[in-house]
Amino acid sequence: MKESLLDILCCPLDKHDLGLEGAEHDDEEVIAGTLVCSECGEEYPIEDGIPNLLPPDMREETPA
Partner 1 sequence: MGLEDRRAQEPDVYQPAEDSHLLAEAACERLERGDLVLEVGTGSGYVAHQIADETGARVIASDLNPHAVRQARSAGVETVRADLVSPFRDGAFDAVVFNPPYLPTDPENEWDDWMERALSGGEDGRAVIDPFLADVGRVLAPDGSVSLLVSSLTGVDEVVEEAGEHGFSAVAVADESFPFETLTVLELFR
Coil, helix or strand for 25? strand
At 39, give phi and psi (nearest 5°): -100, -60
Contact pattern for partner 1 over residues 25 through 44, marking x by CB under 8 A: -------------------x
Check residue 2 for interaction with partner 1 (CB under 8 A). Answer: yes
Q: Which of 21, 38, 43, 54 binds partner 1 (CB under 8 A)?
A: 54
The strand pairing partners of 35, in sequence order, are 20, 44
Interatomic CA distance for residues 16 and 32, integer angstroms:
21
Contact positions vs partner 1 (CB under 8 A): 1-2, 5, 7-12, 15, 44, 48-55, 58, 62-64
